[in-house]
């Protein structure tokens, strides 16, 4: 049976677009003090962008390892919810299930769900092609970004120290499509800044989970 | 050593969370409150990371060349620029201010 072409086209364009973000991650990771090898291992094995950015972000801000891992893990919980949605759709077992789990990220889930009108097979193809495509491009561009930043030296001289927070801003921006979410974002920024002089570096970032709990506690 | 701990622990936790979704019964995560909070966590953490990386040095709020970079990023986002343009605009602006000072 031939592959559903519109689905493959969607999947590949998302893969390439998202994969390019890998340059920003590779550069951010090296700027935070990780080696090129460690940076590439992040993208190969953690393989979930926001968590990777958070881990190197907390280390870059001077946080301890536990804070970095905690921030990354909190951001990774949404992949569990994606897996719950994808597992019955994919219906795979054994090693293929392990592969499906590793490829369960924002983009593969998003493209799969967007194919709902094209049928179950298109949804599955959307998941696998997007997941594999993002994996390939994300890792290639991570390496490019890491090598580039490594060659640059002093991060401030090239503006890398501003590129990293700008990347976070670019990541959160598309999510702020309602007034409520913009209030959550502004409150989190204020909360993190207020806590900054009082807590060890990195902890104010994790503490903003309380902002999410506060705003999400009751129905709006 | 710290770096290796972060790389390995983050990777193990990330994969465990992904696999859990494929293995556990759906009803374990049916709680509406849990889902609402979970949907807000990325917004809260990513927003905090913007200011922690852009306006903080160790445990002090410091306004320096990075603020100029963030302003450029914000302008690019309002102009609906794609992600790479946002990041490069921030880097260029920040680097210029850094060298002028």
Instruction: Please give the pLDDT value at position A1.
Output: 66
Does residue B101 sit within a domain?
Answer: no
Does residue B24 sit within a domain?
Answer: yes
Total domain count, chain B: 1
CA distance A9 to A6: 5
Does residue B42 sit within a domain?
Answer: no
List, for residues B27-79, the tens digit of each pLDDT value.
Answer: 777 788 988 888 898 899 889 989 998 999 878 999 999 999 999 999 999 99
Structure ipTM: 0.89
CB A65 within 8 A of CB A203: no
Mean pLDDT calculated for residue range A140-147: 96
Does residue B41 sit within a domain?
Answer: no
- Whole domain around residue B3: which residue ranges? 1-30
The two structure tokens encoding residue A101: 């789990």
CA distance B89 to B73: 6
Q: Please state the φ and ψ torsions of residue B84, each to the nearest 5 degrees.
A: -60, -35
From chain A, pick out residues whose CB is under 8 angstroms from the CB of B3: 33-35, 38, 59
Q: Using CB atoms within 10 A of its CB, is residue B60 exposed (0-12), middle (13-18) or buried (19+)?
A: exposed
Instruction: Please give the pLDDT value at position A147.
Output: 96
Q: How far is A22 from chain B (nearest CA, A)?
A: 11
* Domain spans in chain A, listed from the N-terminal domain onward: 5-175, 176-220
Instruction: Please give the pLDDT value at position A56.
Output: 94
Q: Please state the φ and ψ torsions of residue B61, each to the nearest 5 degrees.
A: -80, 120
CB A190 within 8 A of CB B11: no
Mean pLDDT calculated for residue range A100-114: 92
Does residue B9 sit within a domain?
Answer: yes
Does residue B39 sit within a domain?
Answer: no
From chain B, pick out residues whose CB is under 8 angstroms from the CB of A75: 41-42, 45
Q: Which of B22, B26, B39 sits opposite A97 (nearest CB)?
A: B22
Please tell me the pTM assigned to this model.
0.82
């Amino acid at each position: 049976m031939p592959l559903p072409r519109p689905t493959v086209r969607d999947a590949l364009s998302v893969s390439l677009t998202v994969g390019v973000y890998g340059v920003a991650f590779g550069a951010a990771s090296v700027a935070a003090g990780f080696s090129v090898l460690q940076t590439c291992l992040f993208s190969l094995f953690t393989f979930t962008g926001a968590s990777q950015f958070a881990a190197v972000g907390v280390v870059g801000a001077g946080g301890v390892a536990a804070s970095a891992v905690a921030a990354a893990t909190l951001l990774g919980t949404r992949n569990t919810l994606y897996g719950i949605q994808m597992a019955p759709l994919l219906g795979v077992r054994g090693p293929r299930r392990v592969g499906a789990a590793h490829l369960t990220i924002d983009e593969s889930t998003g493209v799969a769900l967007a194919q709902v009108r094209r049928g179950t097979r298109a949804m599955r193809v959307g998941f696998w092609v997007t997941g594999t495509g993002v994996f390939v491009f994300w890792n290639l561009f991570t390496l490019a970004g890491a090598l580039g930043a490594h060659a640059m030296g002093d991060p401030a001289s090239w503006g890398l120290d501003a590129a990293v927070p700008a990347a976070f801003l670019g990541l959160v921006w598309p999510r702020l499509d309602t007034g409520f979410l913009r209030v959550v974002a502004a409150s989190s920024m204020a909360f993190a800044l207020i806590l900054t002089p009082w807590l060890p570096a990195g902890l104010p970032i994790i503490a903003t989970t309380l902002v999410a709990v506060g705003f999400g506690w009751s129905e709006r | 050593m710290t770096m290796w701990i972060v790389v390995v622990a983050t990777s193990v936790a990330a994969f465990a969370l992904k696999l859990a979704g494929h293995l556990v019964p759906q009803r374990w995560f049916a709680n509406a409150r849990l889902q609402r909070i979970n949907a807000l966590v990325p917004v809260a953490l990513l927003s905090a990371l913007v200011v922690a990386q852009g306006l903080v040095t160790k445990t002090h709020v410091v306004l320096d060349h990075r603020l100029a970079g963030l302003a450029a990023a914000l302008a690019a986002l309002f102009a609906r620029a794609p992600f790479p343009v946002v990041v490069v605009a921030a880097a260029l602006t920040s680097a210029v201010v850094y060298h002028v000072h």
